[in-house]
Amino acid sequence: MLSLEIQHTDGKARAGVLSTPHGPVQTPVFMPVGTAGSVKGVTPEQLTAAGSQMILANTYHMMLRPGGDTVAKLGGLHAMMGWEGPILTDSGGFQVFSLAHMRSIDDEKVVFRSHVDGNTVELTPRKCIEIQRQLGADAIMQLDECPPGNASFEQVASAVDRSILWARECKCAWREDTESDQSLFGIQQGGVFEDLRARSAEALVELDLPGYAVGGLSVGEGHQEMARVLDAADSQFPADRPRYLMGVGEPRDILAAVQRGIDMFDCVLPTRNARNAFAFTWGGPLRMRNAKWTDQAVPIDEDCNCYTCRNFSRGTIRHLFMAREMLGPTLVTIHNLHFFAEFMSAIRESIAVGTLESDAQRWVCGMYPAAQEPADEN
């Protein structure tokens, strides 16, 4: 089971250690996404070298291909992925509501047509837990309903009530396996509506779960609205349980969330953007296909100690992208993963010495020059 020890605080910000069956994790932590059982373009050894501590895999994708039974026969996700560290699996709910076709939903289940082969699939709270049990992750998520960012109050309220119901059913299914060392997280929904967020959090906390996640953000509401919603998170969830903001990876969003008491993050941003020649640096983003790098012999970031920056120049990386060589995306992925690991390490150190507010302002000014827009997922 997971347990969280808070070692330092700075305002609402917390730094500590999350103990898991597969080792300790320093928090706040960013988790790279291995959607289909692999963090695209890199090996587990490269993930470790880049400083990644914990990774995420996607229940929806693993359920459809190769299937939970197959993953279990291969020894679970840890064996399949060759990853010895902690793993979190999401419930698949977000993907059901964003990728699947011809959905129908009621309080018992969601039925959808697979985007892979068109087959009809039924997902219930119990089946969600059973599949994640087969996957063998350290942290697992309840099935929830994810309303779109532009949903009405009535639609969001319905999703909150259904997600609460499903959280209770997921807990019952999870508790049946008394020998499991997996930890179940509940997922708060509620969009940007404060009263719905409070209702969701109150019901989840009553379930006394090992961890709590904030879902339904980073769906188009914008940075300020996200921060406003998160203002209440510290008071809504127990201080001794990990708090996980799902699907958020923009550095300024991470900083705002950490300052509001969030401990865990995941996003495809560093890896997906890397495949599109987008490199993160403390001085702002670099587009590695830009012609101005053609004969530049300097690394992506001269102050970075990652494998890529120690061995390859901007000019070389640009050439690899222009020549469509696989090495180009891999090198930028390694760099971006290292950047995010170093970014989170800097946040933890800043919390420990009590300077997060001033450091965050300085970092945001450096990463988001006035003439540039924040990074997107391309």
pLDDT in tens, 32-41: 999 999 999 9
Distance, CA of 301 to CA of 288 (rounded, Å): 12
288 in a structural domain: yes
Strand order in the sheet with 23-27: 3-10, 13-20, 23-27
372 in a structural domain: no
102 in a structural domain: yes
Examine the domain organization and report whether 250 and 105 are in the same domain.
yes
pLDDT of residue 149: 85
Examine the domain organization and report whether 236 and 301 are in the same domain.
no
Distance, CA of 261 to CA of 234 (rounded, Å): 5
* CATH number of the domain enclosing 114: 3.20.20.105
378 in a structural domain: no
Examine the domain organization and report whether 298 and 330 are in the same domain.
yes
Examine the domain organization and report whether 249 and 321 are in the same domain.
no
Examine the domain organization and report whether 300 and 325 are in the same domain.
yes
Examine the domain organization and report whether 215 and 232 are in the same domain.
yes
Active site residue 90: yes
Q: Is there a contact between 259 and 11 (Cβ–Cβ < 8 Å)?
A: yes
Active site residue 303: no
Closest CA to 216 of 300, 144, 109: 144
Examine the domain organization and report whether 261 and 342 are in the same domain.
no
Token pair, residue 364, equals 């945001």
Q: Within 10 A of 261 (CB to CB), how many other CB atoms are there? A: 22
Give the domain-ending residue among 250, 267, 284.
267
70 in a structural domain: yes
Distance, CA of 188 to CA of 198 (rounded, Å): 9
Examine the domain organization and report whether 226 and 311 are in the same domain.
no
Per residue in 26-71, pLDDT (tens digit) is 999 999 999 999 999 999 999 999 999 999 999 999 999 999 999 9
Given the residues 10, 253, 263, 266, the one annotated as active site: 266
Average pLDDT, the chain: 95
Examine the domain organization and report whether 233 and 280 are in the same domain.
no
Examine the domain organization and report whether 110 and 230 are in the same domain.
yes
Q: How far is CA 201 from the centre of its chain?
A: 20
374 in a structural domain: no
Q: Which domain holds residue 148?
A: 3-267
214 in a structural domain: yes
249 in a structural domain: yes
Distance, CA of 125 to CA of 287 (rounded, Å): 42
Token pair, residue 295, equals 């004969």
Closest CA to 68 of 110, 24, 14, 123: 123
Give the domain-ending residue among 267, 289, 319.
267
pLDDT of residue 103: 77
Examine the domain organization and report whether 280 and 251 are in the same domain.
no
DSSP codes joined into one string, 148-210: -TT--HHHHHHHHHHHHHHHHHHHHHHHT-TT---EEEEEE--TT-HHHHHHHHHHHHHT--S
Q: What is the DSSP letter of 293?
A: G
Token pair, residue 40, equals 């695209």
pLDDT of residue 371: 42
| Residue spans of alpha helices (H) in the chain | 44-49, 59-64, 68-73, 76-81, 93-98, 125-135, 153-175, 194-206, 223-230, 233-236, 251-258, 269-275, 307-311, 314-322, 327-353, 356-367
Q: Which regions of the chain are under pLDDT 50?
A: 371-378
Q: Is there a contact between 187 and 141 (Cβ–Cβ < 8 Å)?
A: yes
Question: What global pTM score does this model have?
Answer: 0.96
Examine the domain organization and report whether 194 and 282 are in the same domain.
no
Distances (CA, A) of 150 to 112, 156, 173: 22, 10, 32
Give the domain-ending residue among 248, 267, 286.
267
Token pair, residue 54, equals 């914990």
For 283, residues 6+ apart whose C-beta sits below 8 A from its C-beta are 301, 366, 367, 369
Question: What crossing angle do the helices spanning 223-230 and 251-258 adopt, rounded to 10°?
Answer: 20
Given the residues 90, 138, 253, 263, the one annotated as active site: 90
pLDDT of residue 15: 98
Closest CA to 83 of 62, 129, 59, 52: 52
User: What is the total count of domains within the chain?
Assistant: 2
